[in-house]
Amino acid sequence: MNKFQPIGHHPNVPEIDVSTEIVIQRSRVEVAAYASDPDNATKWYRNIRRVDWKSDRPVSLGSKIAFVARFLGRELAYTYEVTELDPDRRLVMKTNEGPFPMETTYTWDDADSGTRMSLRNRGEPSGFSRFATPVMARAMRAANRKDLQRLKQILEAS
């Protein structure tokens, strides 16, 4: 049985579903290779403090990667598992750990002037976190925009 159940909205539980995107002046292959490599996460994600591989490199279906992040003044430790991988097109990672089970999806599409990268975070906070859902969603959207802007700066400068 797959231990990851689809994240679906449950009555009376607020869901977070935040999507952001940016166009980066680099090829889809370059953007996807850099963004999908967890070893680069601390360079472009402002809140990620540490990355620890729990499986062999490179990223593949079933890979497990532990992250330590700081968000809204709290330190969060969680392990993502790669549940979908279409190299240079789509990467989906999920975690059921902690107070905020989350699914993160990266997609890369060709754009006239480079690559359109989309970053989507979906989850259902539990416990006290669910009462802060509107604040968390706004903070996540702002952080994701800054992170994608940082990714763009890094890749376009190279």
Residue found by looking up tokens 């995107």 in the block: 21
Q: What is the pLDDT of residue 135?
A: 82
User: Which residues, other chains included, contact 120 with Cβ-Cβ below 8 Å and sequence gap of 6+?
Assistant: 17, 18, 19, 20, 103, 104, 105, 107
Share of the chain above pLDDT 70, in %: 85
**pLDDT recorded at residue 74:** 81
Domain count of the fold of the chain? 1
Q: What is the pLDDT of residue 71?
A: 78
Q: What is the pLDDT of residues 58-70, one digit of tens each?
A: 999 999 999 999 8
Residue 9 lies in a domain: no
Quick check: is 82 in a domain? yes
CATH of the domain at 119: 3.30.530.20
pLDDT score of 13:
47
Q: Is residue 97 part of a domain?
A: yes
- Say if residue 7's pLDDT is above 60: no
| Structural domain boundaries, residue 141 | 16-157
